[in-house]
Structure formats: structure tokens, C-alpha cells
Structure 1
Amino acid sequence: MKIYGFPVDEAGRCVHYHGETDIVSIKFKCCNRYYPCYKCHDESTEHERQLWPREEFNEKAILCGVCRHELTINEYLQHRNCPKCEAAFNPKCANHYDRYFEMT
């Protein structure tokens, strides 16, 4: 899977978020492309972000940068680690869920 934006390493860490656990890329509903973060998306495109609606949370839209396993949004929201390779996901990403997913 190709990761768009400004990744700085093979795990998809970007110039905005590049900590040890910043290994998740998200497929944006609006363009069907994986980006490491909403900032990379916004700086790389000329369209507005669209949130994933709750009824589509079973879509595979999350990519583990370590093993390239795709998770559904529901799987991602329920796990703190990749279910395939056990790599830890950044728990602080939860602070930004509302920029990707319909949370209300």
C-alpha cells in the first residue's frame, strides 16, 4: 500500500508525527488514499477531508506501518496494538479521532 503525504520512514511516520508508536496510516474517505495524518492529507490535497461515517466503520481503512496489515476502523478503535504483528499504536491518536471518524 502506498502512503501519501510526507512520510519520513518505512513505517509511515511523518514530519508531523514521528514518535516510536506513530505507525498508523489512515485511508481518507474523500480520496481513498492512505496518509500518516490529517495534516499530511490537508497539505497534499486541494479538497476537504471527509469523515468516515459510523455505518462504514467495518471498512478496512487503517494500515499498520510495521507489517502493512489493514484493519477495519472498528478493529483500530478497539485495539492498542496491531492484531497481526502486535506493534503498539500511539494512544494519543485518540485525541484526533474526530478528524477522521464520525464519533458522535
Structure 2
Amino acid sequence: MYIHSQKVEGLLVDAQTRCRHYSSDKDVIAIKFPCCDTYFPCFMCHHSYADHAPTVWKREQFHTKAILCGVCGFELTIRQYFDCDSKCPKCQSGFNPGCQNHYHLYFET
């Protein structure tokens, strides 16, 4: 599915990047995986669709745009995402703060 001109793979349930695994009001981001340069709503969607094991973003790559706001289409760098206080810096839509519990699945910690 294309969301704001970005292709997002996975078990999507709507056009704001919510998926079958995470579909609350605030589950409105997709994360680009460095192993395949593809956006997915979550690590479980990557597992369902990709034919390879995921890799995480290294600290020296945190300047890379790898987070997509499903509400407005703004692409955040990983550093911007860490520093945004769970809100899109462009449209102010709230992101799920519980995603922090899964950072180790996406980012070098």
C-alpha cells in the first residue's frame, strides 16, 4: 500500500500505517528497515513479508530518515523520532509511546 507516496508493506488495516498487530489510535508510524530499505508498520509485519532476518539501525545511522508519520506523511530521522516526545513534529499527531519498549528490535541500543 502507498501511504503519502511511500510504499509500506505489511498486514495493513488502514491508510495511516496501522496493522493487524498494532492498531490503536496512536499506532500511526511505519519504520524503514535497513536490511531491505522498506517501510513496515512493525517488526511482525517484516517477519510476515520479508524473506530475510531484520537488521537494526546502527547509532551512526540515526541521522537517516526512517520513520514515516502515517497521518501526514512526514519522514523523520531516527534522532528526530527519539526526540519528538511521541508527536509528529509536522502535524502534532500523537505516536504510541509504548513503541519505546520495542526500540531494541529496530535500533542499536
TM-score (norm 1): 0.98
Q: Number of paired residues?
A: 103
Q: 1:84 aligns with which of 90, 93, 105?
A: 90
Quick one: distance in 2 between partners of 1:84 and 1:30? 27
Look up the match of 1:3. Answer: 8
Quick one: distance in 2 between partners of 1:30 and 1:7? 20
Which ranges of 4 or more aligned residues in structure 1 deviate by more than 2 Å?
none
Q: 1:74 aligns with which of 70, 76, 79?
A: 79
Quick one: distance in 1 between partners of 2:50 and 2:28? 21
TM-score (norm 2): 0.93
Q: Deviations over 1:11-70 (max 9, x none)?
A: 010000000000010000000000000000011011010010000000000000000100
Look up the match of 2:3. Answer: none
Instruction: Look up the equivalent residue of 1:9 and give its one-letter code.
Output: D
Look up the match of 1:95. Answer: 101
User: What percentage of aligned pairs have identical amino acids?
Assistant: 50
Q: Deviations over 1:62-94 (max 9, x none)?
A: 000000100000000111100000000000000
Instruction: Look up the equivalent residue of 1:99 and give its one-letter code.
Output: L
Gaps of 5+ in 1: none
What secondary structure sits across from 2:67 in the alignment? Answer: strand
RMSD (Å) for aligned C-alpha atoms: 0.4
Q: Which has the higher strand share?
A: 2
